[in-house]
Amino acid sequence: MAVVQKIPTNIITGVLGAGKTTAIQSLIDQKPEGERWAIVINEYGQVAIDNALIDQPAEVQVMELASGCVCCTMSYAFEPLLAQLIRQVKPHRLIIEPSGAGHPARLIDMLRGENFGKVLDLGSTLCIVDPADFDNPRIADSTLFNDQLHMSDGIVISWIDKRSPELIQACKKKIAKLEPPKQYVYETSRGQVQLDWLDTKPDSTIVPVYDPAHPIVGKALDTHHSEIESVTPPTIPQMASISLKVEGDTSKPRRFQNQGNGTWACGWIFAPNNCFDRDSLMETLESVSPIQRLKGIFHCEDDWWAINRKASESSLKTSAFRSDSRLEIIADQPLDWDAIEASLIRCLVEAPP
């Protein structure tokens, strides 16, 4: 009987804005030639953004799951979708990024369980941490943040090029008090992580300190049992990238909202031919407050641009994505979505020839 070679698998966790997707891009850039990788990115909001922000070589398949957390609202679909991805890609490595609002304990149990344990070799769970989050009571005191820290095998302290030495030192002291101790704690800037960090042997004895904070919607499907026959899960193309065409009046975008567990999300998709005045657009996006996270890709007069904002800190770079303009905002309170949409529409200009 042939020996099944298990797929090295890692979870990269962290709260919204910690730098998970940037870390995954860093890992993709180090992918050994000839290897096939599968990346699963779970976004809380309904409008998929991260897939468009990642530069993907031909041998990297990214599946993006939007509109909820795989630990709860997306759990019914996640198992069959993951099984389908593994069958289609046959990856040499699998990396999973749960939503920043997701608890990792259920995901770890799922990957070690009967359905996937014989196929996946779950390695190190890596938690990306922004030192500033320890100084924010809303995050530092949350069970979500502490569960992510506790369930990780190692921690990567990000943003060290943007944070004060005092804040970084305070962060390291708090991490040093975690029990059991982390197998490694690394510091990094600009989201740079090393591929060999993923090969650390995981600590399978870690158990959750907190009860899962999110209720499971429906039932996670056992891919070997009959329940899957009664549910038709969305296909990978449907879930991986929400491609929603704006038809009819293209002067108005399509809008998508969801909320739960103290988090509100709103996203917009504009028609591909919509064009924005970049200066007016940036001023509008910078004025949106308070937010946890803001990500967008926009067709402007001079180029296509990707904006990435955490609280009051923003980055802007050109984007290779050309399908449509889209925006996702996540906040810990409902915002005036109508006013934000009206402000975005006022930024529209005639597209250059």
Please give the pLDDT value at position 36.
Answer: 97
DSSP code, position 5: -
Please give the pLDDT value at position 171.
Answer: 97
Burial zone of 34 (CB within 10 Å; 0-12 exposed, 13-18 middle, 19+ buried): exposed
Please give the pLDDT value at position 352.
Answer: 84
Please give the pLDDT value at position 262.
Answer: 80
**The tokens of 291 are what?**
């937010």
**The tokens of 201 are what?**
């042997």
Please give the pLDDT value at position 212.
Answer: 54
C-alpha span between 65 and 68 (Å, rounded) = 8
Q: Domain 244-349 falls in which CATH fold?
A: Hypothetical Protein Yjia; Chain: A;domain 2 (3.30.1220)
Instruction: From 138, 150, 172, 160, select the one nearest 311 (Cα to Cα).
Output: 138
Radius of gyration over every alpha carbon of the chain, rounded to an integer in angstroms: 20
C-alpha span between 140 and 92 (Å, rounded) = 36
Domain ranges of the chain: 7-238, 244-349
DSSP code, position 37: E
pLDDT in tens, 291-308: 999 999 999 999 999 999
CA distances from 309 to 71, 163, 313 (A): 25, 16, 6
Please give the pLDDT value at position 48.
Answer: 83
pTM: 0.85
May I ask the CATH class of domain 7-238? alpha beta
Residue given tokens 């305070």 in the structure block: 170
- β-pair partners for 263: 260
Please give the pLDDT value at position 239.
Answer: 38
- β-pair partners for 259: 264
Which residues in the chain show pLDDT less than 50? 1-2, 213-243
**The tokens of 98 are what?**
């749960």
Residues 6+ apart with CB under 8 A from 208: 103, 105, 147, 150, 151
Burial zone of 193 (CB within 10 Å; 0-12 exposed, 13-18 middle, 19+ buried): buried
